[in-house]
Amino acid sequence: MFLLKLIGFLALFRSSYQQFPRACATAEALLSKECCPVWDGDASVCGESSRRGSCQDVSVTDAADGPQFPHFNVDDREKWPLVFYNRTCQCVGNFMGYNCGDCKFGFFGPNCDERRESIRRSIFQLTTAEKNKFIAYLNLAKNTVSTDYVIATGTYIQMNNGSTPMFRNISVYDLFVWMHYYASRDTLLGGSNNVWRDIDFAHEAPAFLPWHRVFLLLWEQGIRKLTGDQNFTVPYWDWRDAQDCDVCTDEYLGGRHPTNPNILSPASFFSSWQVICTKSEEYNRLETLCNGTGEGPILRNPGNHDRIRTPRLPTSAEVEFCLSLTEYETEPMDKFANMSFRNTLEGFADPSDGMANRARSTLHNSLHIFMNGSMSQVQGSANDPIFVLHHVFVDSIFEQWLRRHQLVGAAYPAANAPIGHNHGYHMVPFIPLYRNGDFFLSSRELGYDYAYLLEPGQRFLEEFLVPYLDQARQIWQWLLAAGILGALVAAILVLSVVLTCRKRKRRRSSYEERQPLLHDSDDSQNLNYQTTL
């Protein structure tokens, strides 16, 4: 009931984040190749009147790509975003966004001058109210159509080189599912099933960790814009040494259906969700893109997976070995890289020796395989809300490694990485534009941290004290009423004690001795012992 009420209340808010800005999904914008929308705050292009930014030519890197993708000018994502736009808003200072109307990560306020560090906590450390609110936010995002962004349902060629736009509305949550799909989809080479599969702008290469870091920051910011809750942070699931899926309960992200183990319990909100972008083979056969149409319920059957490929969930020892690796990336900078921190954490290398192993799926990959459903397919994995909790924890391991080895952006490869993964490449398919190497830095510089990585004093405050204080804020009316009632009861008790003491004192005074205990009578022979009793 609480969740339904909260969803109804939050439905008053409408916003979104990322991909093709609605204002740029027109024939005029595509033909001019310019995506420089007006910021409503001052009615100027890119907020130029407020000195937020200006419309500028897009500069793309000319660094050489690796040999993994031998084609040229056949994929819209090459040298992103030049196929669609060669002029976009370039923001300055603490401003960000497709029209410079948002704040950079870590900054808040109408003028983006309020610096604040958000703390991401374990989902099991959230109070009941926080956990319920998180689930309500997910449902709201799933059922709210984005007003700012749309998705492309065809390639640029299929749009007649921009003269016939092919875009479609999408919900806030599904927008991010689609982006994850779009970054990892196969290249259409022309003709049914004529595709190039060895391409991925978000996985199997150096950008895996920075790309997902930006993805999560935008997801977090999108929820804040949607709900108006600027204090919201995405939680994580610490899966080290877990024996089963701890979050797979109806209280959290959905338990198992009582009669069909492949779908979610009807008692879970997520059982009614429809997945999108899961039929990659059909898209390849039809030479089309995912159009965001519902394709069935979330599939999940944790533990009933290929145990030869993934014997169990990751252990603390495996994570520690991964953190001990000193090289972020090694040649050939893809899933065959040995002794690479990125490749080991992603799960293509063995976390016991760092050697690439095609027969095993470990660490990050093992969670996807273990879920044995929607999570197990790369392109559609973000449909399952567990995806977010999982990748937030993966990001925390990336953060641990950065702090332990004190590395800077120079450690990120500048050239010869697979297409889309060089230091200066713009992340696909984000608009506004972000470069891979710009996010190879500590999360603190991006305005967030993890509760379990804090110093002991700060950790106690964030993990134990803050949740209780937050819960107290949620029920402050009840606490105030209880305090007033307690004060009244105490006053009554004190008054009762005082009145009782006074009565007893008066009774004692009325029985005081009115004559000596030993009284001499006229008859000296008679001794009369008299007391008032």
Supply the DSSP symbol for 37. Answer: P
Is residue 493 predicted with pLDDT exceeding 50?
yes
Weakest mean pLDDT among 333-337, 441-445, 476-480: 476-480
Say how far residue 439 (Cα) sits from the centre of its chain: 16
**Opening angle at CA 452, ends 338 and 212, nearest 5:** 50
Q: E strands along 77-134, which residues? A: 87-91, 95-96, 102-103, 107-108, 114-115, 118-120
Question: What mean pLDDT is reported for the chain?
Answer: 89
How many other C-beta atoms lie within 10 A of the C-beta of residue 473?
11
Q: 286 or 524, which is more confident?
A: 286
Weakest mean pLDDT among 124-133, 150-159, 354-363, 515-524: 515-524
Is the bond preceding 332 in cis, omega lying within 30 degrees of 0? yes
Weakest mean pLDDT among 121-130, 364-373, 486-495, 514-523: 514-523
Is residue 174 predicted with pLDDT exceeding 50?
yes
Query: Helices 476-510 and 466-474: crossing angle, nearest 10°?
Result: 80
Question: What is the C-alpha separation between 45 and 35, in angstroms, rounded?
Answer: 10
The pLDDT value recorded for residue 490 is 73
Question: What is the C-alpha separation between 35 and 430, in angstroms, rounded?
Answer: 13
For the chain, the first-to-last Cα distance in angstroms comes to 70
Pair type for strands 87-91 and 53-57? antiparallel
Confidence of residue 527 (pLDDT cuts 50, 70, 90): very low
The pLDDT value recorded for residue 486 is 72
Weakest mean pLDDT among 45-49, 175-179, 328-332, 501-505: 501-505
Contact 62, 414 (CB under 8 A): no
Give the three-state DSSP class for 155. Answer: coil
Q: 234 or 499, which is more confident?
A: 234
The pLDDT value recorded for residue 465 is 59
Confidence of residue 514 (pLDDT cuts 50, 70, 90): very low
Say how far residue 217 (Cα) sits from the centre of its chain: 7
How far is the CA of 384 from the CAs of 247, 248, 276, in angstroms? 12, 11, 10
Q: Among residues 184, 201, 211, which one has the least CA distance to residue 420? A: 201
Confidence of residue 11 (pLDDT cuts 50, 70, 90): very low
Instruction: State the DSSP string of 412-467.
Output: S--SSSSTT-STTPBPTT-SS--BGGGG-S-GGGGTEEEGGGS-HHHHHIIIIIHH
- Give the containing element (helix H, strand E) for 219: helix 208-227
How far is the CA of 526 from the CAs of 45, 374, 439, 521, 532, in angstroms? 121, 111, 112, 7, 19
The pLDDT value recorded for residue 528 is 33
Tokens standing for residue 518: 């030993």
Is residue 2 predicted with pLDDT exceeding 70?
no
Contact 347, 359 (CB under 8 A): no
Query: Helices 316-324 and 363-371: crossing angle, nearest 10°?
Result: 140
The pLDDT value recorded for residue 500 is 73
Question: What is the C-alpha separation between 64 and 206, in angstroms, rounded?
Answer: 15
Share of the chain above pLDDT 90, in %: 80
Q: For residue range 352-399, list pLDDT tens digits in order.
A: 999 999 999 999 999 999 999 999 999 999 999 999 999 999 999 999
Confidence of residue 497 (pLDDT cuts 50, 70, 90): confident
Question: What is the C-alpha separation between 517 and 531, in angstroms, rounded?
Answer: 6
Q: For residue range 46-65, list pLDDT tens digits in order.
A: 999 999 999 999 999 999 99
| The one-letter amino acid at 152 | A
Confidence of residue 424 (pLDDT cuts 50, 70, 90): very high
Q: For residue range 298-329, list pLDDT tens digits in order.
A: 999 999 999 999 999 999 999 999 999 999 99
Confidence of residue 255 (pLDDT cuts 50, 70, 90): very high
The pLDDT value recorded for residue 462 is 57
Phi, psi of 529 (to 5 degrees): -85, 105
Contact 78, 202 (CB under 8 A): no
How far is the CA of 101 from the CAs of 52, 490, 522, in angstroms? 8, 55, 112
Which residues, 6 or more positions from 399, have their beta carbon under 8 angstroms from its beta carbon? 442, 443, 450, 453
Mean pLDDT for the stretch of residues 91-114: 97
The pLDDT value recorded for residue 519 is 36
Question: What is the C-alpha separation between 316 and 443, in angstroms, rounded?
Answer: 22
Confidence of residue 406 (pLDDT cuts 50, 70, 90): confident
Is residue 14 predicted with pLDDT exceeding 60?
no
The pLDDT value recorded for residue 529 is 25
What predicted TM-score, i.e. pTM, was given to this entire model? 0.85
Q: Among residues 436, 370, 415, 391, which one has the least CA distance to residue 180? A: 391
Question: What is the C-alpha separation between 357 and 318, in angstroms, rounded?
Answer: 15
The pLDDT value recorded for residue 495 is 76
Question: What is the C-alpha separation between 278 and 292, in angstroms, rounded?
Answer: 10
Burial of residue 156 (CB within 10 Å: 0-12, 13-18, 19+) is middle
